[in-house]
Amino acid sequence: MNIILLGPPGAGKGTQAKMLIDEYQIPQISTGDILRAAVKEGTPLGKEAKSYMDKGELVPDSVVIGIVEERIQESDCAKGYMLDGFPRTVPQAEALDEMLSKLSAQIDHVVSIEVANEELIKRLTGRRTCRECGAGYHVMFDPPKAEGVCDKCGGELYQRDDDNEETVSSRLNVYEAQTLPLIDYYKVKGKIRPIDGVGEIKEIFGRITTVLS
Ligand code: ADP
Ligand code: ADP
Ligand code: ZN
Cα(13) to ligand 3 centroid in Å equals 18
pLDDT tens string 62-84 = 999 999 999 999 999 999 999 99
SS3 state of residue 124: helix
CA of 90 to the centre of ligand 2 (A): 15
| Residue 158: partners with Cβ closer than 8 Å, 6 or more residues away | 128, 129, 131
Domains along the chain with CATH numbers: 2-26+79-115+166-212 (3.40.50.300)
Residues with CB under 6 A from ligand 2: 9, 13, 31-32, 35, 52-53, 56-59, 64, 85-86, 88, 92, 162, 171
- Nearest ligand (C-alpha, residue 5): 1
pLDDT attached to residue 186: 98
Residue 86 contacts residue 29 (beta carbons within 8 Å): yes
| Cα 176 from Cα 80, distance rounded (Å) | 28
Residue 145 phi/psi, 5° resolution?
-65, -40
Low-confidence ranges of the chain (pLDDT < 70): none
